[in-house]
Structure 1
Amino acid sequence: MNKPIRTISIFCLLLFLALMVNATYLQYWKAGKLNDDPRNRRELVASYSRERGAILVGRNNPVAKSVESDDEYKYQRTYPKPMEYAPITGWFSYYSSTGIERTENDVLSGEDSRLFVTKLVDLLSNDPPQGGNVLLTVDPKAQDAAYDGLKALGANVQGAVVALEPATGKVLAMTSLPTYDPNKLASHDLQEVTQDFKRLNEDPTQPLLNRAIQTRLPPGSTFKVVTAAAAIDKGLYTADDLVPGGSTYQLPLTHGPTGLIDNEGRSCGANGQKIPFTQAMEQSCNTSFAQIAEQVGAEDMVKTAEGFGFNSHYFDDLTPQAESVFPTELDDAQLGQTGFGQFDVSATPLQMAMVAAGLANGGTVMRPYLVDSELSADFDVLDQTDPQELSRAVSSTTASEVTKLMVSTVDNGTASPAAIPGISVAGKTGTAQTGTDRSPYAWFISFAPADNPQVAVAVMIQNADIPRSEIAGGLLGGPIAKAVMEAVIK
């Protein structure tokens, strides 16, 4: 073979090898990324041409489903109660997917390996492929009560409600305001989707944010139940004991008004006087709980807070979850502030619902979960979620003692708006200062019935068009918590 022919042959061989390498790279290494690329119209048409499974609540009531459409995509994703369930379902569109639509995508799309037989049968029978279904733990009546209660506070409210079943960790309700319409983001008009997504993403009120799990704020006086639990578990007090009181208290290491704690006029005894523990909780005495936290000590305060879930990740059914924080490096002044939920203490509504649920469950905190079961297209169970213990926060005796304090707070104190006739309710209010000119955050936690708990609730109101003087956890959050508890119990 002469030199020119040999050169051309080698060149052609190199081109052939380059094509083989490129094909292998695209089909093996790059395939997943190309499939997930929102610009891949082929993948878009394919995903919209499959009948995606439903997201269900209650007795198989769909809150997300696919219906036939008359365009090239064959199926349209629809959300029957869009605003109420959007923080849970999320949306499914060519942009991306969020919420349950994202975390349960393999089941809903039919790509889950457990649906292989179903896909094979569909293929052999020439039926269009179908995705599996996902059943949630949500109680529709509790969800309605939570959503309607928040909405009743006004058009511009920002807040969240979470309800849990204490014995299992099931999420019975989860709502967040402001919210959005996922039907618009699931539209087949891609230009309209782009515009709506941009509008929502740039909205300063952050309607795409699920405040139930992604907003972390000072929990204020609702955290006093954790301080009480730490003190009782350490053996310092019982619910029937006297604790430090006082109209004011100067934090250690401080001088003057900067470190002076007061109770905003509530009845907490004179300085140097001791008062009943029930009174300290009923009146939400900052001066008492600052001193109690100092007596407990930083190490045991951290231990108790982390027992309830602070400083940890525990929820995977929706992402991302903001971890609640209890600071681990504290001087004595900072420790006193943590006793009533200030300084650097911050919590999500889900976290504070877990605090209430842990006390309701005898001191055992269950891992919260939202997906009850994954189902085939024919509603055969693929997987059922089993309740799982997260931690033992405090002893059952301690939980019982704190429950006494919380019941007394509903019967005689600041948490009275959550009272339900004929049912014993445990509750605690919270109003957390923001450190700015903004209005404080209003919190409320509760569970009922106190002697046989079926539901634990946390309400957080971040902002509302309400005069500053009228913002209080009991006044705003109490009626919402009451409505949610009644929806579950009755």
Structure 2
Amino acid sequence: MNTPIRRLSVVIACLFTALLVASTVVQFVQAKSLGAMSTNKRTLLDTYSRERGSIVVGGQAVAKSVPVQDQYRFLRSYPAGELYAQLTGFYSYAVGAPYGLEHAEDDLLSGDADALFVRRVTDLITGRKTSGATIELTIDPKAQAAADQALGDSKGAVVALDPRTGAILAMVSHPTYDPNPLSSHDLGKAAKAWQSLSTDPDKAYLNRAISGVYPPGSTFKVVTAAAALENGVASDENSTVPGPAELDLPLTSTPLPNEDDRACGPNDETTLIHALEISCNTAFGSLGLELGGEKLRAQAAKFGFGDSLQVPMRVATSSVPADLNAPQSAQAAIGQYDVRTTPLQMAMVAAGIANGGSVMTPYLVQSVRSANLDVISSAPDPVELSQAVSPETASTLTKMMVSVVDNGSGARAQINGVEVAGKTGTAQHDPKKPPHAWFISFAPATDPKVAVAVVVEDGGVTGSEVGGGRVAAPIARDVMEAVLSR
């Protein structure tokens, strides 16, 4: 063989080798990332040709695929419209990347999950069309409807948990949106709907229950009370604590006042239980000074602050700042300064107290079923996230929270024949806007079956617990009643 032919053979061999390497890289190494690209319309068209699994609440599909006579073959439909939009999210050819559970459980819903491998192989052998898994949620339809109706036109969120298991019974965020236009096969209509939603100044696309991060206001005083009891600063609900009209703070000339500019008891003193009943700022500020920032932060961490959670959607991390100085500790103790939390986290605080001090890991998926309804997986046994406080401390906190509802600022959460535990909150966040109104609660107090957190944006009254008690407490009451009436 002469030299030119030999060189040409080497070049051809190198080209074939490069072709084999490139095709191998594309088909095996890059296959998953290429398939996951939102701009890869071929993958989306292939996925749309399958029957995507349903998302089910109380035996009814709140997201399902409906056969249609077009190139996509199936249309994603959301029969309940806005009610479950913040949970289901949406699946849209026009938008590309799914939202909510449609994103978090995409592998299962599309049929691509490893758990469905055997089913896919069987489908390949039999020629049967591959379809996705059905996901059953823990949501109580009555509680979800009650939360949605009670929150009404207000901005905010409601979360209800089963304190014994961590199951999410209701999750509502307002404003919300209708996911059906986004899933439309009329791409112009879908694109217009996405443009409207993505630029909405009220952020209707945001699930405030898990992604909204707010100052907790006076609801955080429950955490401060827990820290005081756990660290021996207070022995029980009748322990005496300072309660002057205003609390002098070190390192600053600005004192911490009570909302009504009055002392919380005679001789500038009160009891821990009465301080919670009337939400006495100076009492809890003084506890914050005595405890210090690190003990407050450590106690909050035991309730879940700082944890990265997925339910399976990712939950924004709640936080108490590190390295708090004395005045910052006093402010943090009443849920201000830079303390930030999600409604889900505050529901976990209430649930942890209700459950004897044990905070359970929250979850939203009850079970996963294949297309022929075989159970692929079900919710594991309840998993304890942490032991936030001792059973004794939980019992004391329960007495105090019951007194808030029976004798204090949470009276509008009362339910006939049921002992309710709760705590109001008013959280300042913008000098130009009203504060947020909060309420956390659980019931029945002696045998808790539901814990609820409510936040109403700008729903409070500056300098008063009226907002939490008047606006947020009735919403929590309606949700608790819905669960307890099952």
Give the structure-2-normalised TM-score.
Answer: 0.94
CA distance in 2, matches of 1:488, 1:229: 27
Q: 1:100: which partner in 2?
A: 101
What one-letter code is carried by the residue in structure 1 that aligns with 2:25? Y
Match of 2:352 in 1: 358
Letter in 2 for 1:269: G
Aligned residue for 1:456, secondary structure, equals strand
Do 2:243 and 2:263's aligned partners in 1 also have CA atoms closer than 8 Å? no
Matched with 2:408 is: 413
For 1:38, the equivalent position in structure 2 comes to 38
Aligned match of 2:131: 130
Report the CA distance between 1:197 and its aligned residue. Answer: 1.7
Counterparts of 1:279-318 in structure 2 under 5 Å?
279-318=274-313
Q: CA deviation at 1:361?
A: 0.4
Partner of 1:88: 87
Tell me, in whole angstroms, the C-alpha distance in 1 between the residues paired with 2:342 and 2:117: 39
C-alpha deviation, 1:342, in angstroms? 0.7
State the partner residue of 1:487: 482
Distance in 2, Cα, partners of 1:310 & 1:7: 68
CA distance in 2, matches of 1:234, 1:30: 54
Match of 1:372 in 2: 366
For residues 463 and 126 of structure 1, the distance between their equivalents in structure 2, rounded to whole angstroms, comes to: 57
Aligned equivalents of 1:277 and 1:148: distance in 2?
35
Letter in 1 for 2:107: D
- Given the superposition, is the C-alpha separation of residues 468 and 282 from structure 1 closer, same or farther in structure 2, using an over 3 Å criterion? closer
Which of 429, 435, 443 is matched with 2:438 structurally?
443
1:118/1:13 Cα in 2 relative to 1: closer, same or farther (>3 Å)?
A: closer
Alignment of 1:188-199 (within 5 A): 188-199=185-196
Structure 1, residues 391-425: CA drift from partner, whole Å, max 9, x if none? 01110110110111110110111001100011000
Pairwise mapping of residues 93-172 of structure 1 onto structure 2 (< 5 A)?
93-94=92-93, 95-151=96-152, 154=153, 157-172=154-169
Please say if residues 91 and 185 of structure 1, whose CA atoms lie closer than 8 Å, have aligned partners that are also in contact. Answer: yes
> What is the RMSD computed on CA atoms of the aligned residues?
1.9
Counterparts of 1:4 and 1:241, CA distance in 2: 99
Cα separation, 2, equivalents of 1:19 and 1:444: 64
Structure 2 equivalent of residue 339 of structure 1: 333
Q: Deviations over 1:1-56 (max 9, x none)?
A: 33443343333333323322322222222222222223333212211111111111
SS at match of 1:64: strand
Q: How many angstroms apart in 1 are the aligned matches of 2:187 and 2:430?
A: 43
Letter in 1 for 2:433: R
CA contact (8 A) 2:259 2:281 kept: yes
User: Which amino acid letter does the alignment assign opposite residue 18 of structure 2?
Assistant: A
Deviation at 1:267, TM superposition (A): 6.4
Question: Distance in 2 between the 1:180 and 1:359 partners?
Answer: 34
Q: Distance in 2 between matches of 1:267 and 1:172?
A: 40
Q: Which runs of 5+ in 2 are unaligned?
A: none
Residue number among 257, 260, 263 corresponding to 1:264 in the alignment: 260
CA distance in 2, matches of 1:2, 1:378: 66
Distance 2:433 2:146 in 1: 28
- 2:21 & 2:326 partners in 1: Cα distance? 65
Amino acid aligned to 1:117: V
Instruction: Give the C-alpha shift of residue 469 in structure 1.
Output: 8.6
Instruction: Flag structure 1 segments of 5+ consecutive residues without an equivalent.
Output: none
Check conservation: 1:266, 1:285, Cα contact below 8 A.
Answer: no
Mapped to 2, the partners of 1:15 and 1:391 lie a distance apart of 60
Superposed CA deviations along residues 258-284 of structure 1, whole A, max 9, x for unmatched, are 3332223566125x5211322211111
Structure 1 segments, 4+ long, off by >4 Å, are 466-471
Q: Tell me whether 6-15 or 92-101 shows the greater mean CA deviation.
A: 6-15
Q: Report the alpha carbon displacement of residue 126 of structure 1 after superposing the two structures with TM.
A: 3.2
Cα–Cα, structure 1 residues 396 and 379, in superposed 2: closer, same or farther, change >3 Å?
same
Is 2:400 aligned against 1:399? no
Mapping of residues 169-318 of structure 1, within 5 Å = 169-235=166-232, 236-255=234-253, 258-265=254-261, 268-269=264-265, 272-318=267-313
Q: Counterpart of 1:53?
A: 53
Give the match's secondary structure for 1:472: helix
Question: What residue number does 2:73 align with?
Answer: 74
Q: How does 1:17-28 map to 2 (within 5 A)?
A: 17-28=17-28
State the Cα distance separating 1:450 from its structure 2 match.
0.4
Question: Residues of 1 paired with 2:430 and 2:103: CA distance?
Answer: 37
TM norm structure 1: 0.93
| SS of residue matched to 2:180 | helix
Q: Distance in 2 between matches of 1:122 and 1:267?
A: 74
- Return the alpha-carbon distance in structure 2 between the equivalents of residues 295 and 2 of structure 1: 93
**Counterpart-to-counterpart distance in 2, 1:269 and 1:447:** 28
Amino acid at match of 2:241: V
Deviation for aligned residue 1:208: 1.1
Structure 1 residues 392 and 97, CA gap change in structure 2 (3 angstroms): same
Does the residue aligned with 1:410 lie in a helix, a strand or coil?
A: helix
Q: Could you tell me which amino acid in structure 1 is paired with residue 407 of structure 2?
A: N
Cα gap change, 1:113/1:312 in structure 2, threshold over 3 Å: closer, same or farther?
A: closer
Tell me how many residue pairs correspond in the alignment.
480
Distance in 2 of aligned mates of 1:458 and 1:318: 19
Q: Give me the identity figure in percent.
A: 48
Q: Distance in 1 between matches of 2:469 and 2:285?
A: 21
User: Residue 238 of structure 1 aligns to which amino acid in structure 2?
Assistant: D
Tell me the CA shift for residue 314 of structure 1. 2.7
